[in-house]
């Protein structure tokens, strides 16, 4: 039976942990070759070594990248091409989080770093991969991680929400401009996912986060990876310029209420 991503080459940023690592593992299992790009190249190499065990399938290489630098993102794309001969998918997933009330912001701490990573980093990935797809004859898929925060106002999220909203705008415009090359662009909006960022919080806060979703549980990174693998595959050719919600109903309600009958 042919695997869903057999023969495809992917670059996954933020691939050393969380959603990124789970997606690396899923892509390898589906037959892809993967360039694992992360600012922590040592951890990226650990992931590459882990998926190269006899139980793993496909191929992987570790690539160091600071996505806030266009030169480094271009170099990461080139590294994937050097390793595997072409590029078929980029998953712009690397990101940072943080929150502070707006009026307490220090722009150099609370605005600029997050915009550089979460917004500029996705722009750089779209641009570098888009050029590679064009130059190799067209095709390719661009998948970028936005967030439910990119579509909602929320606590302590002024900068994060702005960056994630930009990812949605980038995706729609990229889909429009790159369609002539046969390139697709899609954004995903995760809700509360059990990544290292959320797992560092208290049990009480994580329970509150879980209660915001319909299953009453945090989404697992592997569940997001399953969706990304589908979107990267030829089975998803009709999905383009789209925001795919992977948030277990987070957007459907705000709080469960114990209401009286009436």
Residue 155 host element (H or E) = none
CB atoms within 10 A of CB 102: 11
Q: Which residues are catalytic?
A: 160
Three-class secondary structure of residue 91 per DSSP: strand
80: helix, coil or strand?
helix
| Cα 187 to Cα 172: distance, rounded to the nearest angstrom | 9
Paired tokens of 223: 């569940």
Closest by CA position to 92, among listed 138, 142, 45: 142
Measured CA to CA, the distance from residue 87 to residue 230 in angstroms comes to: 17
- Give the Cα-Cα-Cα angle 141, 145, 148 (nearest 5 degrees): 135
Reference 237, options 190, 188, 179, 177; nearest CA is: 179
Read off the DSSP letter of residue 110.
Answer: I
């Amino acid at each position: 039976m042919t695997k869903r991503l057999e023969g495809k080459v992917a670059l996954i940023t933020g691939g050393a942990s969380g959603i990124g690592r789970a997606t690396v593992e899923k892509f390898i299992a589906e037959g892809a070759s993967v360039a694992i790009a992360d600012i922590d190249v040592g951890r990226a190499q650990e992931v590459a070594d882990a998926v190269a065990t006899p139980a793993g399938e496909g191929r992987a290489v570790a690539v160091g990248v600071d996505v806030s630098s266009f030169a480094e993102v271009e170099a990461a794309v080139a590294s994937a091409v050097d390793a595997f001969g072409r590029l078929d998918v980029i998953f712009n997933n690397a990101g940072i989080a943080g929150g502070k009330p707006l009026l307490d912001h220090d722009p150099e701490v609370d605005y600029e770093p997050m915009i550089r990573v979460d917004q500029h980093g996705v722009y750089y990935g779209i641009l570098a991969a888009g050029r590679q797809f064009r130059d190799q004859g067209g095709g390719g898929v661009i998948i970028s991680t936005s967030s439910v925060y990119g579509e909602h106002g929320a606590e302590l999220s002024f900068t994060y929400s702005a960056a994630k909203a930009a990812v949605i705008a980038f995706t729609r415009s990229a889909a429009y401009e790159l369609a002539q090359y046969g390139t697709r662009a899609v954004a995903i909006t995760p809700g509360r996912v059990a990544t290292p960022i959320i797992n560092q919080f208290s049990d009480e806060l994580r329970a509150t986060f879980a209660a915001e979703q319909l299953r009453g549980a945090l989404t697992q990174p592997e569940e997001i990876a399953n969706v990304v693998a589908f979107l990267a595959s030829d089975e998803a050719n009709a999905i383009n310029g789209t925001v795919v919600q992977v948030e277990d109903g987070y957007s459907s309600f705000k709080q469960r209420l114990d209401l009286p009958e009436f």
